[in-house]
Amino acid sequence: MTRINPGGTIGILGGGQLGRMLALAAANLGYRCHIYCPEENSPAFQVADKTTIASYTNDVALTEFARSVDVATYEFENVPAQTADIVSQNTLLRPGARALMVSQDRLTEKQFLADAGVKTAPYQEFHTAEELDAAFKVIGRPSVAKTRRFGYDGKGQQLVKTSKDLAKVLSVTGSTPAILEGFVNFDREISVIVARSASGDVAAYPVGENVHTNHILDVTTVPAQVSDLVEAKAKVIATKVANALEYVGVMGVEMFVNDDKNQIIVNEIAPRVHNSGHWTMDGAATSQFEQHIRAICDLPLGPAEARGAVRMKNLLGDDILDCEQYLADPKASFHHYGKSDPRPGRKMGHVNWVEPAEG
């Protein structure tokens, strides 16, 4: 295994808030970061040692970037396969290309999860109106149509309650490949942030419970209001997924829970640090960002226990203007992403509240 010691340089594809918080954690451990991002004024550029502004299809710039770093990672799962190829030909890429391939396509992801022995919602793939009709007969109602690729925050999705909704589906999915998924009557949504190091050590954080508003994460609370059995099962599932992928780094595994049955269904996996893991910055001994840097540099993983009861709230758009209120709250830890334009729905920052455990 290749260890990268403090003093080394980490390359990050993507310059958003996740890249920024990764770079801050890396700096704290003594690493330098080189951020590669097509957009000028990216939040991560403000805290990086070196930056490259170039497109993800610029082979020359990608090669130069990869050769300038000891290990490369990414903050988003839609890194094009060709980009990952060029980077991995010129440096270590962690997590590897397989994690990208599996998570970029909902069909591949579901097949991978089934092979790993992990339960997902029932699904059928479709391309045409006829195939959609046939899928609807198998999956039943309600169901959710989702494009196989590039869907996030509810985009590229359509709820199907009756056969009348099928016409709407094709207007959302267009001619792109898609799946029809059974609607899960869950009691709560949870996620597990899990880290696996290059040496194969695994650390799973306590389960977080997530509440979404308008399909965007609003609040994560830890501990989740789930049984001890669900808590343990969820961590086992996340560990299984990380091991099956021979994953290196931190990943988020999103799940639906049925309380009565203690049943867990995996919704999707994200091969990167995850919004529902931001609570770890103040609520755990090791933040998910530091853990990711430790994992990809093959350092020992840090402790993943919670320091107490934690609540994380995303600050979207104008919410960021309330920063004084959070700064005046002695129990709140405020994080600003350095973005200047608070467009509605844009992730501008977050706040963590930690109620320390007694003793």
Structure tokens at 174: 């267009």
Q: Closest CB to ligand AMP among 8 and 151?
A: 151
Measured from the CB of residue 186, what is the shortest distance to ligand AMP in angstroms?
6
Contact between 122 and ligand AMP by CB under 6 A: the answer reads no
* Close Cβ partners of 214 (under 8 Å, ≥ 6 residues apart): 154, 345
Measured from the CB of residue 286, what is the shortest distance to ligand AMP in angstroms?
26
Residue choice 3, 137, 168, 212 for contact with ligand AMP (CB under 6 A): 212
Contact between 270 and ligand AMP by CB under 6 A: the answer reads no
Q: Closest CB to ligand AMP among 199 and 214?
A: 214
Task: Convert residues 153-172 into a mask of x (bound to ligand AMP by CB under 6 A) and - (unbound).
Answer: -x------------------
CA distance 17 to 205: 21
- Contact call for residues 155 and 138 (beta carbons, < 8 A): no
CA distance 52 to 253: 30
Contact between 338 and ligand AMP by CB under 6 A: the answer reads no
Q: Do strands 308-316 and 263-270 pair parallel, antiparallel, or not at all (unpaired)?
A: unpaired
Q: Burial code of 41-69, b = ≥16 C-beta within 10 A, e = fewer? A: ebbbbbbbeebbbbebebeebbeebbebb
Q: Closest CB to ligand AMP among 76 and 183?
A: 183
Q: Closest CB to ligand AMP among 36 and 112?
A: 112
Contact between 215 and ligand AMP by CB under 6 A: the answer reads yes
Contact between 144 and ligand AMP by CB under 6 A: the answer reads yes
Question: Token match 């977080």: residue?
Answer: 208
Measured from the CB of residue 272, what is the shortest distance to ligand AMP in angstroms?
14
CA distance 30 to 68: 17
**Footprint of ligand AMP on this chain (CB under 6 A)?**
121, 144, 151, 154, 181, 183-184, 189, 212, 215, 254, 267-268
